[in-house]
Structure 1
Amino acid sequence: MGVAARNAETTAGQGDSPEWDLVIRPRRAVRTARIVAAVIAVAFLAGGIWLRSGSTGVNFRVADQLAMIGIGLLIAAAVLLLTRPRVRVGPSGVSVRNILGDSDFPWETVRGVAFPDKKSWARLELVNDDYVPLLAIRSNDKERAAQAMDRLRELGAKYTAAQE
């Protein structure tokens, strides 16, 4: 397999195709969610292992230990859902993936993008006076979030002008 074929596979496997000019993902929130998920998983694993070692008067069984570990893994997996947010921008419009599901917005429906005061994330403003939160552009990413907003506005101006 050639280098070009491997690179194409890698790009396709990540879900980022060449049709997107900009892909934005949060950085600090992802790192924090991964750390928290790992801590939760380890804590429930340790709790599950040591559940039967004490003499509290309650008889815990192996099933109780496995349930405790399983609950910890489910909670850790739920925390990892916070690593999913992504915004993709291209000629066809803006694709927003927050925690669950993707939504595509063609440029005709996009009025702009804003970062309201005292909010943790940006929002995509639509022509029907509705808005969609952009969890991928978070205030705690500071300069990186500002650059993402500038680039998103730049591409928005470019593609809306091309449609007129």
Structure 2
Amino acid sequence: MASALAVLIVIVFTIVGLLLPRSDTGAVFRTSDQVAMILLGVLLAGATMLWAVPRVRADADGIRVRNVLTSRRFAWREVLAVSFPDGAAFARLELPDDEYYTVMAVQAVDGWRAVTAVRALRALHRQAWRDGQE
């Protein structure tokens, strides 16, 4: 979805940039204005692509969560639970002291894939806690 939106933004800004000199507003647009409009579209498309960056990788030792601008690794012993509260857009890791860390890679709009991902994360979490108590 982010890719499609990014392409649409570049197309729209390119069309607007190319049509600038034909405006009847009385303003004078030069080639530099057209280039700036197209570059602005490319920058906004790049910012839109940041939403395609979130990722989660988990194994028996812990979980690494990469969100839009941040990345963090947790050992399973640091995580109290993996939850997906009703009405929430993203899953989250419940941490000590009433804190939580959002897992943007697991989104409510993903439907059954989100359910499968949360179940798999919960199974890894549960297994790590069992192994740690033995």
The superposition leaves residues 35-74 of structure 1 with CA deviations (integer Å, 9 ceiling, x where unpaired) of 1111111000111111112343211111101110111111
Shift of 1:105: 0.8
Structure 1: give runs of 5+ residues left out of the alignment: 1-31
Asked which structure has the greater RCO (Cα within 8 Å, sep 6+), the reply is: 1
SS of the residue corresponding to residue 50 of structure 1 reads: helix
> What do the CA deviations read for 1:101-121 (whole angstroms, capped 9, x no partner)?
210111121001111111111
State the Cα deviation string for residues 102-156 of structure 1 (Å, max 9, x = none). 1011112100111111111111101232101111111111111111111110111
Given candidates 51, 54, 63, the residue that maps to 2:32 is 63
User: Superposition pairs for residues 75-90 of structure 1, below 5 Å?
Assistant: 75-90=44-59
Alignment match, 1:103: 72
- TM (norm. structure 1) is 0.77
Equivalent residue pairs, number:
133
Residue type matched to 1:44 in 2? Answer: F
Q: What amino acid is the match of 1:65?
A: Q
TM-score normalised to the size of structure 2?
0.94
Unaligned residue ranges in structure 2 (runs of 5+):
none
C-alpha distance in structure 2 between counterparts of 1:125 and 1:151, whole Å: 16
- SS for the counterpart of 2:106 is strand
Aligned pair 1:112/2:104, yes or no?
Answer: no
Partner of 1:45: 14
Match of 1:130 in 2: 99
